[in-house]
Amino acid sequence: MQDRFQRITPFLWFDTQAEEAVNFYTSIFPNSRIVMSTRYSKEAAQASGRAEGSVMTMAFQLDGQDFTAINGGPQFTFSGAISFVVHCKNQEEVDHYWNRLTEGGDEKAQQCGWLRDRFGVSWQVVPKQLVELLSDPDPNRARRATMAMLGMKKLDIAALQKAAAG
């Protein structure tokens, strides 16, 4: 049996919501689980200002991808400059991930398949067909698909295909 080794692991800094966020994310994606959690010891709590016994870090997997979350305090917040792309096979998947990730989130400021969830983490929910349409060898088809995409929040595969067709 080959050991699974992931060289780079995304590390998400939360103020106090790491456990809530991890539970939320693992409920959305298949093949997801909480691997391990650590809690603040008396000494670590005193040094960090966190409550003794509260969750410090959580190792988890989303669809087999390793992540770590920390309750590190309010010093850092999420920015749209970093996002996670969810590659989708069809409209059903786009709808599922978009609808779940936007629950309680801030989708109003987003477009082109981008959203910010209720924890401030940015995601891109993208159908595989989008890349095909945007890289169409016919520049007019690609331009029409691009223009349609720019007017969308949640991506609609049928509308993108219709726009590309002219």
Domain with residue 59: its CATH number is 3.10.180.10
Full residue range of the structural domain in which residue 15 is found: 8-76
- Map tokens 């305090």 to a residue: 73
Same domain assignment for residues 42 and 72: yes
Number of domains in the chain: 2
Q: 159 and 83, same structural domain?
A: yes
Q: Are residues 89 and 159 in the same domain?
A: yes
At a CB cut-off of 8 Å and minimum separation 6, what does 92 contact? none
Digitized pLDDT (tens) for each residue of the chain, 166 residues in all: 556 788 999 999 999 999 999 999 999 999 999 999 999 999 999 988 899 999 999 999 999 999 999 999 999 999 999 999 999 999 999 999 999 999 987 655 588 999 999 999 999 999 999 999 999 999 999 999 999 999 999 999 999 999 999 9
pTM of the model: 0.91
